[in-house]
Amino acid sequence: MNQITSKIAGTGSALPKTILTNKELETLVDTSDAWIQERTGIKERRIAKNQENTSDLAIAAAQKALKNANLSANDIDFIIVATFTPDSIMPNTACLVQAALHADHAVCFDLNAACSGFLFALQTAHAYICSGLARHILIIGSENISKTLNWNDRKTCILFGDGAGAVVLSISDSSKHALLDFETGSDGTRSNVLTLSGFQKSFLQMDGQEVFKFAVRKVPEIILTLTQRNHLCPEEIDWYFLHQANARILTSVAKRLSLPLDKFPSNLSSYGNTSAASIPILLDEYHNSHKLLPGQKIILSGFGGGLTWGSCLISW
Ligand code: ACO
């Protein structure tokens, strides 16, 4: 009898319709399309309407992921929403998703680890499935960051966007199609680097250079830990789906690992940094366009406020 493990059975994503371009930002703050593109790789981002909530985006992404996995809401045992921008402190956003989907048997909770939230939710769901507590879990990264931004602060308002990505994690008995290993961590002594003291009451604040330095050091480190522990070399990994924070972070990580940049998918130019949603949105785009082939080795890697970081090795 093979050991129980978990696999990604379906993906989905949802983005607000409204596009905010760099050119439009030039009219709000002292910036330029050229500066933003050169320093971040971002051309435009999606912005949720006033009445469009994190749960609305999460529900739309979740419906697509369920359909893609050929499952019904009734099959779902847990719903975990990774977000630092929930609709409200209480009820949690996962319960709002449950009600909309009629996922009546699901246990629902939110998880906040900023831009590492999706990775932490994935690891939590993997542990539930491996322990026999669940067969199918809906994991959603969903953010409404635009409502937390100071639109007079050019150092932050140009970077972020809104959106949601979802995966269904299902039980698997084959390590050929499975989540193979995780490497996660946190450093609360550096909590001041990225802060939002109260959603809808304060603004997101960030020491951009500190986050940048942390990311380009920590991400290669955890990728090497994961690959070495699994007797793989970085070249044997087909795709690296990194949190989409800045194109220069992707370039720098690829360079430090001596890997070609085309192993690092990116949609930063269209969506900016969507925090916990960025990895599942990108994964859905690649899954939908049939770029992910069975048995390919994939590494997901998130990093962000907390500080927090996490990577997952997958055999697709
Ligand atoms: N337009 C024009 N000029 C700007 C802008 C702007 N939008 N923002 C800053 N500048 C200016 C600065 O004022 C500074 O001018 P000065 O030299 O006269 O003082 C100059 O540009 C350089 O500023 P830096 O902060 O040194 O710019 P840097 O190259 O570091 O880029 C950035 C800043 C893009 C924020 C970068 O540091 C970065 O991407 N960091 C990582 C951020 C990140 O990943 N955050 C998300 C974490 S995810 C999460 O957990 C939510």
Question: Mean pLDDT of all residues in the chain?
Answer: 96
The answer, yes or no, to whether any atom of ligand 1 lies below 6 A from the CB of 286, is no
Q: How confident is the model at residue 183 (pLDDT cuts 50, 70, 90)?
A: very high
Take residue 252 and report the two structure tokens written for it: 């720098």
The answer, yes or no, to whether any atom of ligand 1 lies below 6 A from the CB of 40, is yes
Residue 198, pLDDT > 90, answer: no
DSSP states along 256-298: HTT--GGGS---HHHH-B-GGGHHHHHHHHHHHTT---TT-EE
Nearest-angstrom CA–CA distance, 170 and 52 = 30
Q: How confident is the model at residue 1 (pLDDT cuts 50, 70, 90)?
A: low
Q: How confident is the model at residue 202 (pLDDT cuts 50, 70, 90)?
A: confident
The answer, yes or no, to whether any atom of ligand 1 lies below 6 A from the CB of 305, is yes
Q: How many CB atoms lie within 10 A of CB 30?
A: 8
Question: Ligand 1 centroid vs 170 CA: distance in angstroms?
Answer: 40
The answer, yes or no, to whether any atom of ligand 1 lies below 6 A from the CB of 35, is yes
61 Cβ neighbours under 8 A, 6+ residues apart: 12, 13, 14, 140, 142, 164, 165, 166, 277, 280, 284
Residue with CA at minimum distance from ligand 1 atom 15: 155
First to last CA, the chain: 21
250-275 pLDDT, tens digit each: 999 999 999 999 999 999 999 999 99
Which ligand 1 atom lies nearest to the CA of residue 155? 8
The answer, yes or no, to whether any atom of ligand 1 lies below 6 A from the CB of 39, is yes
Place of tokens 């697709």: 316
Question: Ligand 1 centroid vs 143 CA: distance in angstroms?
Answer: 21
Residue with CA at minimum distance from ligand 1 atom 33: 208
27-45 pLDDT, tens digit each: 999 999 999 999 999 999 9
